[in-house]
Structure 1
Amino acid sequence: MKRYYYELLNAQYDDLGACIPDGWHKSTAINQAKAWMRENGVKHANLSVNSMRTSNILDIIEITI
């Protein structure tokens, strides 16, 4: 079972609809988020890292490209 699920959010914490696969490594999710942001012309976003077990938000990572 994967450890985290991710959501890419704008500055108002609205979901941007990016498909970032569940996984174990945050660095992989960050790279996938950056690629999605480049493709969709998004300059700033927040990556929400959520626990698969409890659904709690564990971390918010600011991403700027």
Structure 2
Amino acid sequence: MKMYWFELTDERYNDLGAAIPDGSNKQAAINKAKQWMRDNNVAKAMLAVNSMRTDNLIDVINIELN
């Protein structure tokens, strides 16, 4: 099972301080990030997906709220 840790950042890769739980489900992390963004009036952000095993950046998911 793949395990990830997530970090929500702005367009300049500054950490926004969102508490996104570690886990294996990227969609759950995206949903949690969207909820945090709605609660904090953030329209655009990027969710960095990192491997817990290798500590490498695996993916960056752009999130935009309408």
**What residue is the counterpart of 1:11 in the other structure?**
11
Q: Does the aligned pair in 2 maintain the 1:49–1:59 contact within 8 Å?
A: yes
Q: Secondary structure at the match of 1:48?
A: strand
Task: Give me the whole-angstrom Cα distance separating, in 1, the residues matched to 2:39 and 2:21.
Answer: 17
**What residue is the counterpart of 1:40 in the other structure?**
40
Residue 12 of structure 2 aligns to which amino acid in structure 1? Q
**What residue is the counterpart of 1:63 in the other structure?**
63
Runs of 5+ consecutive residues of structure 1 not aligned to the other structure: none
Size of the aligned set, in residue pairs, is 65
TM norm structure 2: 0.95
| Superposition misfits of 4+ residues, deviation over 3 angstroms | none
Runs of 5+ consecutive residues of structure 2 not aligned to the other structure: none
Residue 32 of structure 1 aligns to which amino acid in structure 2? K
Structure 1 stretch displaced more, 18-27 or 2-11:
2-11
TM norm structure 1: 0.96
Task: Give me the whole-angstrom Cα distance separating, in 2, the residues matched to 1:9 and 1:56.
Answer: 16
Task: Give me the whole-angstrom Cα distance separating, in 1, the residues matched to 2:8 and 2:43.
Answer: 12
Identity %: 57
